[in-house]
Amino acid sequence: MSTETEAAPIHSRRDVVQAMWGLMMGMFVSILAGTIVSTALPRIVAELKGSQSIFAWIVTVELLAMTATVPLWGKLADLYNRKLLIQASLSLFVAGSLIAGFSQNIEMLIVSRIVQGLGAGGVTALATVVMAAMIPPRELGKYSGMFGAVFGVGTVAGPLIGGLLVDTSWLGWRWCFFIGIPFTLAAMYLLQRTLHLPVVVKRETKIDYLGAVLIVSGVSTLLIWSSLAGQKFEWASGWTAGLVTLGVLLLAAAVRVEATAHDPIVPLSIFRNRTVSLATIASALVGVAMFGGTVFLSQYFQLALGKTPTQAGLLGLPLIFGLLISSTVAGQMITKYGRWKAFLVSGGVIMVGGMLLLSTISAQTTVFMVSVHMFVLGVGVGLMMQNLVLAAQNDVPAKDLGATTSTLTFFRSLGGAIGVSALGAVLASKVSSLAAEKFGPLGGDGGSQVPDISVLPPEVKAVIADIYATATAEIFLVGAPFAVLAMLAVMFIKEKPLKEQSGDDRLAAEMAAGH
C-alpha cells in the first residue's frame, strides 16, 4: 500500500484557536444531546403518546449509535480527509436534531436519535484526532484540558438545561433538540474557514466492513443487555446469558477478523503498546465514575433531599467546577513543564477519595458537604480523563492516532454505559430490600417504581428519603474499587517525554522514512 501526503500546512495561532472553538462547540452539543433529554422525557413520552417501555430507549438508542460507531469513525480518520469527515458528522447531527425537534410520533423520534448518535459518535471520535493532527503533544496539554472540561460540562449540564427548557412555557421540549443546531452550524462555519489539514490519499485501501459490522453488532448487543437488565429481566436470567454470550461471541469473531484484516478498524497492534492498553483500561473505569456520579446524584437530590429537577441540576455544578478547574489547570501545567504522569496518578488518588466521601452521604448530609464531596470527585476525573488520551497519543505512531484516540473514547463511553446500568441495578436492589424492611412485604416493589414524594405524607417521605440516601451511598461504595483499579492502571504507565511535532508533521516524517 502506498501513501501520499501533502506537506503539513503551517497553522497560524489564530486559525488554531478558532478551529479549537469550532471543535469544542461541536463536542459540547454532541455530548449535550445524550443528557439534555433526561429531565424532558416524561413530557416527551406523554405528548407523543409513547409507552413506558419506550421511555429509556429515547436515551439508549442515541448512546448505542454513538458508542458503537466511534471505532469506525476513528479508523476512517486514519484513511480519509478528516475535515470532510468531521463536517459530515456535524451535518448528520444537525439532520438528526431537526428531525427530533419536529417529530410527530415516537417512531420518528427514535429514528432521529439514531441519526443524532451517528453524528455525535463522529464528533467525539474526530475532534480529538483533528486536534492531535494540528498540535504537538508538548503543546496539547492545555487544549486537552479544555476538551476535558467541555466533556464534563456537557455531561452534567444537560439535565439542567433540559429542565429549564421544559419548564419555560414558550419553549418546551422540542427546544432540547433545536438548541444545539445554531452552535453546530457555527462550528461547521469556523472549521470550514480555519481547519487546514493535509489530504492523505491511501491507495489499495480496503475498508474492513466485516470487522465493522461485527464490532458494532457485538457492542450494541452488550449495550442493549446492560440497558435492559434489571428492568425488563433479572440480571441472573436466561436473557442475560443469551445476550452476553451473543455479544462476547460477536466481539471474539471481530478480534479474529481484525487480526487478519488488510486494514483493520481497530489495529490490534496498538494494544501491544503498554501505555495504550493501560490507558484504555483506565478510561473505561473513569467512565464508570464520571457517568455514575452524574446519573445517581441527580436522583439523590430529588428523592433524598427533596429538591426540584431544576434545583438538582444546579446542585450538580460543584462536580462541573471541580472537573473544569482541574482539567484546565493541569493542561496548562503539562504544557509548561512537559510532565504529565503526576497529574494522572494524583487524579486517580483524588477520584478514589471522592467516591469514598460520597459513600458517606445520608438524608441528613448538608448540601454544602455533598457539594464538597462532588467537587473532589470532579477534580479527580478532570485530572485523568483527557490526560489519558494525551499519554496514549504521545506514544503511538502518527498513522494510528485516529484508531488509538477513538479506542479510548469508545471504552470510556462503554464503561460508562455498562457501569451505569450495573450500578443502577445495585441501587434498585438496595431500594427494594430497604423498602421491604421498612414497609413490610408490600414495600418490596419500591425498587421498580420511582415514588412521587410530593404526594406522600411527611413520615413516609422521611423514610423514602433515608432509603434512597442509603442506596445512593452504597452505589459509590461499590464504585470505589473501580476507581482504585483506574488509579493502579495509571501508576504502571511509563512517563515519556512529550513530542514536539504535531501529528501531521510526525506522519509526514514517518512516510518519508517508509514506515
Tell if the pTM clears 0.85, that is, is over it. Answer: no
- Alpha carbons within 13 angstroms on the beta-carbon side of residue 361 total 34
Q: What is the rounded distance in angstroms from the CA atom of residue 398 to the CA atom of residue 410?
A: 19
Look at residue 370 and tell me whether its pLDDT is greater than 60. Answer: yes
Residues 386, 327 contacting (CB under 8 angstroms): yes
Quick one: average pLDDT of 436-456? 60
Quick one: average pLDDT of 117-126? 86
Look at residue 338 and tell me whether its pLDDT is greater than 90. Answer: no
- Name the CATH code of domain 9-204 (choices 3.30.70.890, 1.10.10.10, 1.20.1250.20, 3.20.20.70): 1.20.1250.20
Model confidence at 449, in pLDDT bands (50, 70, 90)?
low
Residues 121, 212 contacting (CB under 8 angstroms): no
DSSP state letter for 229: B
Taking alpha carbons only, the member of 392, 296, 310, 415 closest to residue 344 is: 392
Query: Do 270-496 and 9-204 fall under one CATH topology?
Result: yes
pLDDT at 375: 94
Taking alpha carbons only, the member of 204, 206, 240 closest to residue 224 is: 240
Q: Does residue 3 sit in helix, strand or coil?
A: strand
DSSP state letter for 8: P
Q: What is the rounded distance in angstroms from the CA atom of residue 136 to the CA atom of residue 105?
A: 48
Contact residues for 358 (Cβ-Cβ < 8 A; gap 6+): 293, 297, 370, 373, 374, 377, 473, 476
Contact residues for 303 (Cβ-Cβ < 8 A; gap 6+): 450, 451, 453, 464, 465, 468
Residues 209, 407 contacting (CB under 8 angstroms): no
Residue 468: burial class (beta carbons within 10 Å; 0-12, 13-18, 19+)? buried
Residues 473, 357 contacting (CB under 8 angstroms): no
pLDDT at 35: 75
Question: What is the residue extent of each domain of the chain?
Answer: 9-204, 206-262, 270-496
Contact residues for 68 (Cβ-Cβ < 8 A; gap 6+): 121, 215, 216, 219, 220, 223
Task: Convert the pLDDT of each residue in 2-42 to its tens digit.
Answer: 444 444 444 567 777 778 888 888 888 888 877 787 667 66
What backbone phi and psi angles, to 5 degrees, belong to 3? -130, 135
Which of 413-417, 506-510, 511-515 is predicted with the least confidence, judged by mean pLDDT? 511-515
Residue 229 β-bridge partners: 233
Taking alpha carbons only, the member of 93, 75, 82 closest to residue 27 is: 93
Quick one: average pLDDT of 173-185? 89
Look at residue 70 and tell me whether its pLDDT is greater than 60. Answer: yes
Taking alpha carbons only, the member of 279, 282, 153, 288 closest to residue 226 is: 288
293: amino acid identity, one letter: G
pLDDT at 277: 92
pLDDT at 205: 57
227 versus 346: which is more confidently predicted?
A: 346
Q: Does residue 200 sit in helix, strand or coil?
A: strand
- Name the CATH code of domain 270-496 (choices 3.40.640.10, 1.20.1250.20, 3.30.70.20, 3.20.20.150): 1.20.1250.20
Model confidence at 447, in pLDDT bands (50, 70, 90)?
very low
Q: What is the rounded distance in angstroms from the CA atom of residue 173 to the CA atom of residue 115?
A: 19
Taking alpha carbons only, the member of 408, 385, 411, 366 closest to residue 322 is: 385
pLDDT at 4: 41
Look at residue 515 and tell me whether its pLDDT is greater than 60. Answer: no
pLDDT at 444: 47
Percent of the chain topping pLDDT 90: 16
Model confidence at 56, in pLDDT bands (50, 70, 90)?
low
Look at residue 218 and tell me whether its pLDDT is greater than 80. Answer: yes
pLDDT at 8: 45
Taking alpha carbons only, the member of 310, 318, 313 closest to residue 298 is: 313
Taking alpha carbons only, the member of 149, 147, 156, 153 closest to residue 123 is: 147
Q: What is the rounded distance in angstroms from the CA atom of residue 473 to the CA atom of residue 356?
A: 9
Contact residues for 208 (Cβ-Cβ < 8 A; gap 6+): 75, 257, 258, 261, 262, 263, 264, 265
pLDDT at 94: 93
Model confidence at 371, in pLDDT bands (50, 70, 90)?
very high
Look at residue 485 and tell me whether its pLDDT is greater than 90. Answer: yes
Per the prediction, the chain carries an average pLDDT of: 80
Look at residue 421 and tell me whether its pLDDT is greater than 80. Answer: no
Task: Convert the pLDDT of each residue in 226-252 to its tens digit.
Answer: 767 766 777 788 898 999 999 999 999
Dihedral sign computed on CA atoms, order 148, 153, 159, 165: negative
Q: What is the rounded distance in angstroms from the CA atom of residue 397 to the CA atom of residue 399?
A: 5
Taking alpha carbons only, the member of 492, 275, 287 closest to residue 392 is: 275
Which of 84-98, 209-223, 499-513 is predicted with the least confidence, judged by mean pLDDT? 499-513
pLDDT at 492: 93
Question: What is the residue whose three cell numbers read 492502571?
Answer: 489
What backbone phi and psi angles, to 5 degrees, belong to 225? -60, -50
